[in-house]
Chain A
Amino acid sequence: MTQLALVIDLNVCVGCHACVTSCKEWNTSGEAGPMTDKMPYGENPTGTFFNRVQTFEVGTFPNTETVHFPKSCLHCEEPPCVPVCPTGASYKRKQDGIVLVDYDKCIGCKYCSWACPYGARELDEKQRVMKKCTLCVDRIYDELLPEHERKPACVMSCPTSARLFGDVHDPDSEVSKAIRDSNGYQLMPEWGTNPANHYLPRRKVEIKIHTDELKRVDNPLSKEERKKHQAPGTGPSLDDMTTW
């Protein structure tokens, strides 16, 4: 069974929102659109987004770290949002595990969004139906696109390659390897939703340098060392290194 998902590397994400804008651009003009904005230039702009990038601060100054955190539907393997939907508009695809909303069936009762602990669903003010990340389902299978472009728009746009896309059920996929090798984890594991999307944690890269490593005691090739042995016949000669 296939379960497509995103793996987001928090160690790499710089919080540039490129994925947010490219998601909006692709999806508002694609099958999942429009993603309505209300009063975009007014005092209180608001609109529908599938993807948000948030920023958190960890620790107390001066020992703080900034974590940029992109958040979209996690395409849970046990999605609590699906069984509660009275119309069957919310469903999880068997073939690839993508959780989708059928806009033609949705009655806009919002019950599914109550049942998503991650706040991944947003009701579209204009169309009055529930919307959420589709994992660019209208893009990843599009054979008109060159093979390397059949990825979600956010993955394509990420300038730091913080977003990986693939099948988390295939142990040899890029995403599965990344989860394995870099301790990928799921959000809010306490609710048993088993999100398909994973996050890779921040990794501190540290090198321990001891002082004696900075100052070599005995380097026969250093200038000083060579000067010491400059008197003829006292310095190292070829005979010291080789035997004929």
Chain B
Amino acid sequence: MLLQASIKECLSSNNYLGNIMHPAFSVIFLTTLIGAAQGLFLALFTGQIFTTFKLMPEQNDPNFYIIGSVLSLMLLTLGLFASFFHLGHPERAWRSIARWRTSWLSREVIALPAMMIGVMAYGAAHFFDLTYPLFETPGGTGLDATLILGFITTVLTYTLFVCTGMIYACIKFLQEWHSPLTVINFILLGTASGFTLATALSAWLNTELSNFYATWAITFTVLALIFRFATVIRNQKITPKSDLRSAIGVRHPKVVQITQGFLGGSFNTREYFHGKSKAVLRNIKYIAFILVFVIPVILLVISLSSKGYFIPLLAILVQYVGLLAERWYFFADANHPQNLYYQNIA
């Protein structure tokens, strides 16, 4: 009678819906891993742009770009791998490219491999040293294959970010998600973790770029904090559009469910109730706040004036664990109107 206990638990909190969306770990890993991979790629390319256009001291260590691309590719692959655990029939996953005209999930399924190919090409271009200028800008800077591939991959990276975010943001009755903030948060959190990872990587490879990356990582982490905080505030103020009255169509201020119609659980009670108390939810929110924002920023600031890769490495590890908690909270925070129909057992 675990279910009974968990439903009672949800009911006893003043939120009549209980807190919902049982977060699936496959999806948590998918979104955090590819987020970091996307951020890492953006970091690599930003670094390259800055050096090419001589906005900072020349540093041309192709190894950094190659290893960075491989790492990004590895994270993307891991994310893709994790996503298969979410499916009932992974062997049919290829079918999911069919409805890209209407489904953001389908678009993501196309955008993810597209970005993987982009990163692979970008890394390969660096590996084969394709730095022969193909065009020349008016300023006299040569545009080579790595830059062009990098630019294309950047577009693919943002496409993937938007697809991932829109999967959640497009469902209008999940009011906590139905907001541009969802997409912005996916972009900023992914970018922040990617730049932190780039800081650790460049410190490890001893390139001159680590302070550059640390500064950007701090900037993105703070930006992400602002938008994530705004989302928390927004979501606290949401008034659910549906209630039991509209759910069953009886106009009366007092309607309660006597029974959901069955004793044991069902898909609906498992998928949409996580059964954790409000206190647990709150604690996870604070843990995420400290691990994603506070500690990494402190560590990154320290790393600005210290040598070695240990501190930025610690920063990314802490931030990643924090992002797992953040993503868990993101799911658990959403209230699905279907829960109105599953409130009680008799």
Binding site for B on A (CB under 8 A): 17, 20, 39, 43-49, 52-60, 66-67, 69, 71, 80, 82-89, 105-111, 113-119, 121-123, 125, 127-129, 185-191, 199, 201-202
Contacts and interface: CB of A to CB of B under 8 A. Distances in A.
Nearest to B108: A86
Contact of B88 (A67, A80, A107): A107
Interface stretch (B138-146, B151-159, B243-251, B277-285): B243-251
Interface of B: 1-3, 86-90, 92-93, 95-99, 102-106, 109, 167, 170-174, 241-242, 244, 246-250, 252, 254-268, 271-272, 336-339, 341-342, 346
B257 A55 contact: yes
B249 A187 contact: yes
A80 B178 CA distance: 14
Nearest 5 A-B pairs (CB), nearest first?
A: A108-B88, A128-B88, A119-B338, A86-B106, A83-B102
A56 B93 contact: no
B171 A114 contact: yes
A58 B171 contact: no
A122 B338 CA distance: 12
A115 B246 contact: no
Given A69-B248, A118-B338, A122-B266, A59 B254 contact: yes
Nearest to A115: B171
B258 A57 contact: yes
A164 B150 CA distance: 61
B174 A58 contact: no
**By DSSP majority rule, is chain A's interface helix, strand, loop, or mixed?**
loop
Contact of B89 (A80, A107, A199): A107
Contacts of B86: 109-110
B100 to A, nearest CB: 8
Given A86-B98, A87-B96, A49 B248 contact: no
6 contacts: A49-B266, A54-B257, A56-B250, A86-B109, A88-B95, A105-B92
B89 A129 contact: yes
B246 A189 contact: yes
Given A84-B170, A84-B171, A87-B95, A55 B259 contact: yes
